[in-house]
């Protein structure tokens, strides 16, 4: 639904830590481990709280 006025957007940045086979092996065998984080920016419409935008951010940014 398209509004007739300006859009007031609320931004949230959240992070999700993923643990794969590499981290499990690092704990088991004592080798150095590398944390992997996936970050997302989510934009919400202030009035309706609908998600209006999502952006994924890689770990090298």
Residues 6+ apart with CB under 8 A from 46: 8, 9, 10
Residues 6+ apart with CB under 8 A from 54: 40, 41, 42, 43
Q: Is residue 32 part of a domain?
A: yes
Owning domain of residue 38? 9-57
Rounded CA gap, 4 and 30, in Å? 59
Q: Is residue 28 part of a domain?
A: yes
Sheet of 9-18: strand order equals: 9-18, 36-45, 51-57
Encode pLDDT of 1-60 as tens digits: 556 788 899 999 887 776 666 666 777 777 666 666 778 889 999 999 999 999 887 766
Whether pTM > 0.85 for this model: the answer is no
Q: Is residue 3 part of a domain?
A: no
Q: Is residue 45 part of a domain?
A: yes
Is there a contact between 41 and 23 (Cβ–Cβ < 8 Å)? no
Domain count for the chain: 1
Q: Is residue 1 part of a domain?
A: no
């Amino acid at each position: 639904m398209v509004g007739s006025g300006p859009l007031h957007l609320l931004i949230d940045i959240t992070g999700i830590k993923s643990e794969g086979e590499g981290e499990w092996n690092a704990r088991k065998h004592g080798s150095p481990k590398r944390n992997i984080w996936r970050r997302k920016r989510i934009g919400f419409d202030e009035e309706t709280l609908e998600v209006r935008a999502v952006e994924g951010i890689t770990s090298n940014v």
